[in-house]
Amino acid sequence: GAAISGTAIVVGENVCGMDKEAIFSNNQVVYSKDLEFRVKTYRELWDGKYGDIAVQNNIEDETMGVDIYAASKLEVNIIEKKFGQGAKSIGGEVRVRDLERAIELKKRGYIVIPDPEDKNVQEAFKLGIVKSFERHSRIGKPDPQHFLERIDLLRSMGVKKIWIKTGCYRPIDVAFVMKLAAEAKADAITFDGAGGGTGMSPVPMMNESGVPTIYLEAWVLKACEIMKKKGMHVPDIAMAGGFSNEHQIVKAIAMSNFGDKPYVKAIAMARAPILAVMKSRYYVELSKKNALPQNFVEKYGSKPESFFVSIYELVGRYGAQNIERLIETGAIGLYTYFSKIATGIKILMVGQRKYRLDLLDRSDLASLTERAAKVTGIPMADEVDKELFESILTK
């Protein structure tokens, strides 16, 4: 879906570590069927021009050499270094209900709770007292020197772009990551605001920890402005954290343009695109069972050929032989969703008389509350164009 839409996609953390068929040598991954499948699947229908596939690394991934494997064996162009757990602040957990699997994950370097190698825990598991184990990823705590050396190594191996992914931490953490990115000449950083995430960690910390996206972007933009004035390298910024509609995307980009060009070059999304894929697959399955709701059938039809509006456009591009696969996997649902987003962005831009994304700027926005104005520096609606308004009438 991402490949045919021309969007970049990031293969998340822990793929190799969780791959039951992965092969390790001296604790370093030398083959991962799962990661190889993801990279090759994207590239099958990718045009090689728009988008690309990146492989993300957390602490465990780097320890087992996932970045080296992705660069050397799969020839991945983009490696994303993950600092922390994005919108979750901490977390990255998976529940495991098999003792041998829990032991395997511990040996691969993960924190597993309770300890599956503890004899007492093993006995409790056999008795049914302990029913499952939790696999946890470590929190991000980057060492600047090690980070810079690792980046140099990856670039020497042919990696074309270095991205950083981090979350909604304190202002000083934003400053630290931005400065480190400048030293590493990183190509882009994704900041993930509270309210984001994939929804895989529904714990109280998700509600109580982190900084909302709008506050986070304001801090990031402040850092960008300071760095620009000092002549430092300013990486492209991608914002994440609850984005699902075109108006949110337009606002995030426009807010980042102080008159030159937007600092925010991309919006990272997770739950909304995933939902588009899951929903499309769900309706295809209902169609096969002749179980679509009657009101749905009356409005959209009973076959995928009628209720996926993008289908004939894709037939012309990829041929009928690939369409069934795009339907079955939900890829067509993602393409349709992104098409809707693209059309919505164009409509909003035309309304502002802006015909390129990089022309959107802060003058296209207004704050509706004093709190929003204070946080973002965007004037209240009654303050917008105040001087120009008077000058037009008095000159």
Summarised one tens digit per residue, pLDDT across range 143-175 is 899 999 999 999 999 999 999 999 888 999 999
Q: Does 120 share its domain with 154? A: no
207 occurs within a structural domain: yes
Q: Does 208 share its domain with 101? A: no
Task: Please tell me the distance from the alpha carbon of residue 20 to that of residue 160, in angstroms, as a whole number.
Answer: 30
How many other C-beta atoms are found inside a 10 Å radius of the C-beta of residue 246?
19
- What average pLDDT does the segment 309-317 reach? 89
379 occurs within a structural domain: no
Question: Domain end: 209, 238, 268, which one?
Answer: 268
174 occurs within a structural domain: yes
380 occurs within a structural domain: no
Task: Please tell me the distance from the alpha carbon of residue 350 to that of residue 353, in angstroms, as a whole number.
Answer: 5
308 occurs within a structural domain: yes
pLDDT at 184 (0 to 100): 96
pLDDT at 86 (0 to 100): 60
Q: Does 102 share its domain with 143? A: no
Of 5-9, 88-92, 140-144, 330-334, which gets the smallest average pLDDT?
88-92
370 occurs within a structural domain: no
Q: Does 151 share its domain with 212? A: yes
- Domain with 43 in it: what CATH number? 3.20.20.70
Question: What total of structural domains would you count in the chain?
Answer: 3
- What average pLDDT does the segment 299-316 reach? 91
Q: Does 14 share its domain with 78? A: yes
Q: pTM score > 0.85 for this model?
A: yes
216 occurs within a structural domain: yes
Q: Are 189 and 178 in contact (CB under 8 A)?
A: yes
Cβ-Cβ contacts under 8 Å for 126 (sequence gap 6 or more): none
Q: Are 240 and 190 in contact (CB under 8 A)?
A: yes
Question: Domain end: 78, 108, 136, which one?
Answer: 136
Burial call 300-325: b when 16+ CB within 10 Å, e when fewer = eeeebeebbebbeebeeeeeeebbee
User: Mean pLDDT across the chain, nearest whole number?
Assistant: 93
Q: Does 216 share its domain with 161? A: yes
Range of the domain at 121: 94-136
Q: Does 196 share its domain with 324? A: no
Q: Does 250 share its domain with 309? A: no
Tokens representing 144 are 């600047």
Q: Does 200 share its domain with 264? A: yes
Opening angle at CA 295, ends 289 and 301, nearest 5: 60
Q: Does 214 share its domain with 328? A: no
374 occurs within a structural domain: no
Question: Domain end: 334, 349, 364, which one?
Answer: 349
Q: Does 102 share its domain with 170? A: no
> What confidence tens digit (pLDDT) does each residue in 193-232 have?
987 766 666 667 777 778 899 999 999 999 999 999 999 9
Task: Please tell me the distance from the alpha carbon of residue 239 to that of residue 221, in angstroms, as a whole number.
Answer: 11
Q: Does 263 share its domain with 284? A: no
> What confidence tens digit (pLDDT) does each residue in 238-285 have?
999 989 999 999 999 999 999 999 999 999 999 999 999 999 999 999
Cβ-Cβ contacts under 8 Å for 136 (sequence gap 6 or more): 91, 92, 93, 110, 111, 112, 113
